[in-house]
Structures are given as structure tokens and as C-alpha cells.
Amino acid sequence: MRIVLIGAGNLATQLGKALVKRSKHEVLQIYSHTVESARTLADQLQVAYTTSIDDVVKDAELYIVALKDAVLSEVIPELVKGRNKKAIFVHTAGSIPSRIWQGYACRYGVFYPLQTFSKQRDVLFSEIPIFIEAVDKTTEEQLNSFASSLLCRKVYTVNSEQRCRLHMAAVFACNFSNYLYTISERILIDSGLPFEVMYPLIDETSAKIHRLSPHLAQTGPAVRYDENVIGKHLKLLADYPEWKKLYELITKNIHHDQLRFNQDKGTRV
Amino acid sequence: MRIVLIGAGNLATQLGKALVKRSKHEVLQIYSHTVESARTLADQLQVAYTTSIDDVVKDAELYIVALKDAVLSEVIPELVKGRNKKAIFVHTAGSIPSRIWQGYACRYGVFYPLQTFSKQRDVLFSEIPIFIEAVDKTTEEQLNSFASSLLCRKVYTVNSEQRCRLHMAAVFACNFSNYLYTISERILIDSGLPFEVMYPLIDETSAKIHRLSPHLAQTGPAVRYDENVIGKHLKLLADYPEWKKLYELITKNIHHDQLRFNQDKGTRV
């Protein structure tokens, strides 16, 4: 397929690399509002770029919009206007419904890869679950075969609400976990210890839940509600009032869930 | 060394296996208050066990106490009384100071492996950072060579306060991250999706921070304070009021940290 990438951020960069280096598709052009981002990605992929939505190629077969959610509703009408009526238009956002395209494009949908992307760090699309939504069956099939052409092995069809819930689940498991790592790093540095001592524990915590439901994998002072240890930690957290609040809230939640689980034992999944 | 393991929980089980299967030390006996736990571990390791602290072998060279923090102060006086005066006594707790042994044992310390342990899941001690504290230099050296004999490659000496902060950092990075995984699992199940779709994202999130400080790796709607997406998630979280509170608190923290970081850019580590 002849593809235009609208966006030059983390996801667009990784998707662009996968398309150019590991697929038979042709990337015609990169669009980004920011000239530096557009040029950097276009240079990497050795394709053309533009910073003006009017100059986006008119006859591509697939337009992939990987922009910040906040600008989508502004860019979409301008993008679709005057472009190939038979083209497929997709966005890549977890929490934006597919109906954002309604009234503009005829053939549209969503191509949502569930992963955290950085420009510097390459990822294999073959390992990433892809969530597709499409306006009709033909478009859905074409998006499915597009995913297969990227070697994606896990492709799911979901509706907009499911995808929004999925995104929310990802925010907890990824963005928020990463924030807990930043707290951990700060505490270690402030204690004169390198953050790398935490790597094996972080690795094991994430590896463990492939085999064991995280509910069953839960350990630590909160599970047994060890007031002595919890009290010591809260005392040390006096210097970090925001993290203290967070410590208290999560500890309380873990403890309550554990109590509920023990009450329900045997009936709960 | 001739060793007695006091405890038959997750850590004692994994330490016992490593000692019996991958070291030259001799495990003389397992003690656990609970006969079932004592027998299960003793059978696995093919060693003797007791459920009475009075019957613990008197002439071991190293007593490793891996019990719940809450019972330590009760067990320690009974354990040390009448036992080999030259023996080394250690506990394995993150947040219990080494002075808990003071007035009871002459040679004592702490042997704290920074990892999350399950009975079912074997771990390699060669990959686990070990934090040692000892009452004197000779004891410290002996604990160091004990760690080396388990093939531990990263052995650190820390004082009790550092260890408590380390434990607290681990609670954030491990116990609390795992709790976020349980939330994620529940949201997915309630949306008709299997938790396994989250594995690649969880793996990448934890792998990423080996190369990139978690502060720089932070992504998601909270970083850009995308009110549209955040609002949608909070709406969906109406059914889970406790998790809604948590979502709001972490989002606010990520956003504030990001603002602070942008203000300090260039000066902050």
C-alpha cells in the first residue's frame, strides 16, 4: 500500500521504521506540524516530508494519523478534504472513538498498537497486540491484512468503548507503574544507592505475572498489613508528602482487596 | 557452614533450595511454627524439621531467620538462648534494624536479598542484589563470603536506615506496581479482554528503564495532561471509586513532576 504518515512522534517513528525496513509498503510522505520532527523522521526513513496539511499527497491508499489526541478533531477535516475517496483513514489513539472520522471520510477506522514507544528504542511489531476497528467489513479486512504484513501476530477487533477501557488498563499497568519506578529511583538516589539495584526486582515483578495472576503474586507489607513496617515507611516519607499519600492509598487498597479475596475464597476468579 | 533456617515461607523456601542444590553448605534443620509449612519445605530439601523453637539445633554456625517481621522480636530471644555463642544470627527483613539482635546474640547481622519470592517460582541468587549489615568486621566478612558462596554477584553493605529506605523503594517499584497490574487485569476482564494482551506492554515498560531513567521514559495522557482522555477514563472509573482516586492522584503527581522538570531542565539529574 501507498502510505502517508501523519505525525512524527514516538509511535509514528517506530511505525515508520517498521514500514520502511520490514514491510513491502511504500511510505510516500511524513507530515508533522513541527519542521524539525518532520525532517528528522523523513531523513531517517529517506522519504519526503511536509509541514503543511494542504501539501499532503492526495492519492495515497492509507493515511495513518499518529498525532496527539488533542489535535485530532482539528486535523481530520482538513486532512480528508480533497484526498482520495477510496483511501482508508485510521488514527492510532486508544481513547478516541472511531466516529471522530464520521462525516468526513468514507472508509475509516482505528489501528491501535498496545505498546509504549520511544523514538530511540526500536520495538518488534510482531510482538505487539494490535486493536482494530473499522467502519465496514472490507475496511476491517484490509486493516487486518495490513497488520499481518507488519508481522503482527495478535490482532483483535474491538469497539471504541472496549479500546478506551483497554487504554485505561494500559495507563495503570504502564504509565503509572513507570511513575512508581521514578519514585523508587528518587528514594534510592536520595539514600546514596544506584537505581540499578532495583532492576532484578522490577524484572521479576513483571515476569512473574505471565505465570501467576497479579492478584496471587501480591507480596509486601500491605498484604499482611504489617503496621510496624508501614509505620516506618510513612515516617521516612515525611519528606515526600505526595508520595506518602500515594503509599497510604495503595496500601489501604491492597489490604482491602486481600480481605475481600479471603472472604470470597473459592468463588472469585 | 552448618545452617539452620528459621522460617518456611517464600524466601526461606528459595534460600533453602539454593543452599541445598547449589552450594556446599549443609542445612541442618528447618524451623516453622506451622507443621505443614515445616514439613513441606523439609521434604523438598530432605532435611529435618521442628515446630518448637526449643528443639532447634544448638551447634549450627549460621542461623538465618526468615520470618514475618511482626514475630521477630518474640522469636529472637528464645532462639539465641542456649545456642552456639560463636554462631552468626541474621534476619532477612528490609525494615527491621540489626539492633533487634542487640543484648541477645554476640555475632549478628542482616542478610537482605532484594527480590520478590514465591514458593513455586525458582530464582537465581546470582542475579539478586544482597544487602548485608553486620555487628563487626569479621562477621561482615563471613556474611560476604556466604553471599559469594551462593554466587551472588552484587553484594552491598548498608546500614539499617539505608536498608529501610531501600525496602520502601522496593515497595513502590514492586508491590505497588504489581497492584497496578491487578487493577489492569480486572479492567480487562470486565471488558471481555484477556490480561495477556498487556504482557508485551508490561515487559517493555520494565525493560525500558534499564536504558532510560524512568523519569525520561514517562509517557501517557498524564504527561501531556490530556484532559479529554483523562476525563474519559475518570468517567469509566465511576464503577471503581477507589481506583478513580488512585488514577487522579497519580495523574496529578506525574503532571506536577513534569512541570517541575521542565522548569528545572538542565539542572536536574
Banded pLDDT at A264 (limits 50, 70, 90): low
Q: What is the pLDDT of residue B20?
A: 95
pLDDT digit string (tens) for A23-71? Answer: 999 999 999 999 999 999 999 999 999 999 999 999 999 999 999 988 9
pLDDT digit string (tens) for A70-103? Answer: 899 999 999 999 899 899 999 999 999 999 999 9
d(CA A39, CA A8): 9
Q: What is the pLDDT of residue A267?
A: 39
Pairing of strands A88-91, A62-65: parallel
Contact A185 B213 (CB under 8 A): yes
Whether A126 contacts chain B with CB within 8 A: no
B162 closest CB neighbour out of A96, A193, A201: A193
Probe site for chain B from A158, A201, A210, A216 (most B CB atoms < 10 A): A201
Please report residues of A whose CB lies closer than 8 A to that of B128. Answer: 200
Whether A241 contacts chain B with CB within 8 A: no
Residues 6+ apart with CB under 8 A from A218: A254, A258, B175, B178, B179, B182
Contact B118 A256 (CB under 8 A): no
pLDDT at A269 over 60: no
Q: What is the pLDDT of residue A260?
A: 81
Whether B156 contacts chain A with CB within 8 A: yes
A162 closest CB neighbour out of B115, B185, B192: B192
Residue of B nearest to A155 (CA): B197
Q: What is the pLDDT of residue A224?
A: 85
Banded pLDDT at A265 (limits 50, 70, 90): low
Whether A12 contacts chain B with CB within 8 A: no
Q: What is the ipTM of this complex?
A: 0.92
Whether A203 contacts chain B with CB within 8 A: yes
Please report residues of A whose CB lies closer than 8 A to that of B201. Answer: 114-116, 170, 173-174
Higher pLDDT, A118 or B229: B229
Please report residues of B whose CB lies closer than 8 A to that of A190. Answer: 165
Contact B224 A70 (CB under 8 A): yes
Mean pLDDT, chain A, integer:
94
Please report residues of A whose CB lies closer than 8 A to that of B229. Answer: 69, 94-96, 167
A218 closest CB neighbour out of B165, B179, B205: B179
d(CA B105, CA B93): 17
Please report residues of A whose CB lies closer than 8 A to that of B195. Answer: 209, 213
pLDDT digit string (tens) for A158-197? Answer: 999 999 999 999 999 999 999 999 999 999 999 999 999 9
A162 closest CB neighbour out of B94, B191, B205: B191
Contact B249 A249 (CB under 8 A): yes
pLDDT digit string (tens) for A196-216? Answer: 999 999 999 999 999 999 999
B102 contacts B80 by C-beta, under 8 angstroms = no
Quick count: other Cβ atoms within 10 Å of Cβ A203? 17
Average pLDDT over residues A122-127: 91
One pLDDT digit (tens) per residue for chain B, 269 residues: 999 999 999 999 999 999 999 899 999 999 999 999 999 999 999 999 999 999 999 999 999 999 998 899 999 999 999 899 899 999 999 999 999 999 999 999 999 999 999 888 888 999 999 999 999 999 999 999 999 999 999 999 999 999 999 999 999 999 999 999 999 999 999 999 999 999 999 999 999 999 999 999 998 999 988 999 999 999 999 989 999 999 999 999 999 988 887 776 544 33
Residues 19-48 of A with CB under 8 A from B: none
Please state the three-class secondary structure of chain A as a single string.
Answer: CEEEEECCCHHHHHHHHHHHHHCCCEEEEEECCCHHHHHHHHHHHCCEEECCHHHCCCCCCEEEECCCHHHHHHHHHHHHCCCCCCCEEEECCCCCCHHHHCCCCCCEEEEEECCCCCCCCCCCHHHCCEEEEECCHHHHHHHHHHHHHCCCCCEEECCHHHHHHHHHHHHHHHHHHHHHHHHHHHHHHHCCCCHHHHHHHHHHHHHHCCCCCHHHHCCCCCCCCCHHHHHHHHHHHHHCHHHHHHHHHHHHHHHHHHHHHHHHCCCCC
